[in-house]
Structure 1
Amino acid sequence: MKQLITFLAAAIICSTATAQTDSTKKQKSDTIRIGGIIIVKNGKNKNNKEVDITMGRKNSERKKNANVSTNWWIVDLGFANYTDNTNYANTGTYLVNRPGSPALNENDFKLRAGKSVNVNIWFFMQRLKLGTPHVNLKYGVGLELNNYRYKSSVSYKEGGAVPYTAGTQTNAPFIFRDSVAFSKNKLAADYLTVPLMLNFNSNPGSKKRGISFSAGVSAGYLYGQRNKQKSDGRGKDKNRGDYDLNRFKLSYVAELGLGSVRFYGSYSPKSFYEHDLDMKPYTFGLRFSNW
């Protein structure tokens, strides 16, 4: 440490002496690197002020060499839908088409595609550099909010004395065709979700954004489900309960960045219902993110 201080003092004295003996020459910036320390001598400016010496790494260099970068509060706006592979001829064991209730079919579960929306709010996402700036591990935590708007008048109920099997009754959740025409009828399913993706970036560290692509999986936990309806006869009605949705959802996720525009999508290979209905959800839309 004493040697370093002596060296710095000598450097200052020499640079000052040089500036005093020859003031007509144009001063140039010199850089001295000692281990992890960078010393930058800026020289005299046009106002003939004292010599500035800067020690340490520049902010741009720290950012360039950072292995982890964080993006806060990302928002997705898109659409939610599902592929219906239900065999309605073999249902009736639990959720739909119980004995004594009107039979449901695929027409009862058709959606208003333009009004079935998906909104995701990511608290943060991080990129971890994997050896090269072009390849990163991307992960985060957020809320996944899905709203499925039905064309029909299906209703969800948790419990109730309805026929289940001969001579027995159950209080399990069920879906039935209601007698009321709804102007608004939707099922909402909300998840706490953690995505994990491999990210490829064509132009890292540049102000001009190139092409980026991310693909991986996400794991979601269902923390809220409700059937929200609106009609002339009943007004507004919001029913919360257990509607036989799976508590956990595993999805394939992807993201495509073209310059400053970003698209996202997800697809779950498993039905988001536990019984009877075979409906695999998917989403797609725009992502508002810095990277």
Structure 2
Amino acid sequence: MKRIIAMCIALCTVMTGFAQVDSTGTQNEGDTIRVGGMVIIRSGKGADGKNGRHGISYRTRKVYKPSNVSTNWGIIDLGIANYVDNTNYGSAEAQAYAPGSNENYFDLKNGKSINVNIWIVTQKVNLIKHYVNLKYGVGLELNNYRYKAPIRYDDKPDANLTNPPIVTLDPEVALGNRHYSKNKLAADYLTVPLMLNFNFTPNRQRAFGLSAGVSAGFLYSARNKTITSDEGKRKAKDDFDLERWKLSYVGELSLGFLKLYGSYAFKSMYKRGLDITPYTVGFRISNW
């Protein structure tokens, strides 16, 4: 009897010890006790997973340690493309580029203009204890601007004119001879971003922080694609007097799994006639 009582007292003492919280960092969570980075699990099974007299197993919790230089491949951005139109359509320059144009000429369809960025490779370099980092990379910036009006870009302007018209309003629509189901300008850039990154949680793989900087993009492809009732699919390929280089302010906001991005160009995307400054905003798919 004394042995049974002694065993009961010892068992109660052990169970009471497991139920307490150690102020030095030991915590009890039901059948789990955390001691710093070590986790002790109480169960009816031994550490080998079999029933036995050892009912305690140990597990060490992994701590994320970022490297000084990390590389990420294949980051994808999905968002909207839009612009701010400050063009003076009464000016001779605007009328030379788009005869008869007005404030509604280049209006975009709501929610139809998209931006997709494919960052081929991006690197992050530790500057100050992983709280401040330098981010840079290279990728493709793809923008599709979908128009409301039946405007057309001319890929074969009159070479005899100093500043030949580029954009015209399709007269066949007014005559009822043609209907547009798609009308877009695609402008694609090879882009290199450079940002300063502020990571508020450097020991978490899913960071909370922000990045800000600039990007330089080179226009490698531009085309006006239309689909009409009588012509079907039509593509006009040219630079359409778009600026070859696009410099932009860029930023990123990281909220764990959720990542947002945005960009705003320094100036108009056109060399002449139009004062249209593009911007983008959307979601970023990345494991950083």
TM-score by length of 2: 0.72
Q: Report the AA paired with residue 169 of structure 1.
A: L
In the TM superposition, what is the alpha-carbon distance from 1:159 to its structure 2 partner?
3.1
Deviations 1:51-97 (CA, angstroms, capped at 9, x unpaired)? xxxxxxxxx89x83631001110000000000000001113464222
Unaligned runs of 5+ in 2: 1-46, 49-61, 174-178
1:201 aligns with one of 192, 199, 202: 199
Which of 207, 227, 231 is equivalent to 1:230? 227
Task: Give the structure 2 partner of residue 247 of structure 1.
Answer: 244
Q: 2:161 matched to which residue of 1?
A: 169
Amino acid at match of 1:96: A
Q: How does 1:208-287 map to 2 (within 5 A)?
A: 209-287=206-284
What is the alpha-carbon distance in structure 2 between the residues aligned to residue 214 and residue 155 of structure 1? 38
Q: What per-residue deviation string (whole Å, max 9, x for no partner) do you get for residues 187-226 of structure 1? A: 000000000000011111324x342100000000000000
Q: Deviations over 1:159-205 (max 9, x none)?
A: 3349xxxxx73574511101233110000000000000000111113
Q: AA paired with 1:87?
A: N
Q: Name the counterpart of 1:139.
A: 136
Residue 170 of structure 2 corresponds to 178
8 A contact 1:138–1:198 mirrored in 2: yes
Structure 1 residue runs of 5 or longer lacking an equivalent are 1-45, 48-59, 98-102, 163-167
Q: Cα deviations across residues 121-140 of structure 1 (Å, max 9, x unaligned)?
A: 00011110003211100111
Report if aligned partners of 2:98, 2:165 keep a CA contact under 8 Å in 1.
no
Amino acid across the alignment from 1:158: D
Q: What code does the residue aligned with 1:66 have?
A: S
Aligned pairs (5 A) from 1:84-95:
84-92=85-93, 94-95=96-97
Report the 3-state secondary structure (helix = DSSP H, G, I; strand = E; otherwise coil) of the residue aligned with 1:133. coil
CA distance in 2, matches of 1:72, 1:65: 17
| Alpha-carbon spacing, 1:132–1:107, altered in 2? closer, same or farther (3 Å) | same
Structure 2 residue matching 1:75: 3-state secondary structure: strand
- 1:11 match: none
Task: Give, in whole Å, the separation in 2 of the partners of 1:238 and 1:105.
Answer: 24
Q: Which residue of 1 aligns with 2:109?
A: 112
Partners of 2:128 and 2:157 in 1: how far apart? 58
Aligned 8 A contact 2:158 2:164 in 1: no
Q: Structure 1-normalised TM-score?
A: 0.72
Of the structure 1 ranges 262-271 and 86-95, higher mean CA displacement relative to structure 2 is found in 86-95
Q: Is the 8 A contact 1:158 1:172 kept in 2?
A: no
Q: How large is the RMSD of aligned CA atoms in angstroms? A: 2.1
Deviates more, 1:87-96 or 1:267-276: 87-96
Aligned-residue sequence identity (percent) comes to: 55
Give the deviation of 1:282 after TM superposition: 0.2
User: Cα distance, 1:236 vs. partner?
Assistant: 0.6
User: How many positions carry a matched residue from both structures?
Assistant: 222
